[in-house]
Amino acid sequence: MIHPIYKILSFKIQEPYTLQIVFDDKTVKTINFSSILIGEMYGPLKNLSLFNQVKIDPEVHTLVWPNGADFDPATLYDWNQNHSEILSRISLNEQVTA
């Protein structure tokens, strides 16, 4: 199975926990991350000042945060299809580490 490779060109903070993301094929997606801000990796991003420190990693062209949180660009590109799976994986990891 071939998976497309996407790069993030830019982003704008639209409102709390919501980013407008521009991909290399000029697709623009607006994603509200608030529902997945749980667990060891993403939970700290509930701190809005930490969330707003998001940057684009120049090597892999995806969003990264100072605490090491990141997402594959393809996951972000297909966020609507991937959201529930992401949420269930984060919740499962949270249960395992508890």
Looking at the structure of the chain, the number of domains it has is 1
Q: In sequence order, what are the beta bridge partners of 56? A: 63
pTM value? 0.82
- pLDDT per residue as tens digits for the range 14-50: 999 999 999 999 999 999 999 999 889 999 999 999 9
Is 1 inside a domain boundary? no
Is 17 inside a domain boundary? yes
Is 2 inside a domain boundary? no
- pLDDT per residue as tens digits for the range 42-80: 999 999 999 999 999 999 999 999 999 999 999 999 998
| Residue of 71, 20, 27, 6 lying closest to 45 (CA atoms) | 71
Domain with residue 73: its CATH number is 3.30.2020
Domain containing 25 equals 8-97
Q: Residue 51 CB: number of other CB atoms within 10 A?
A: 21
Is 62 inside a domain boundary? yes
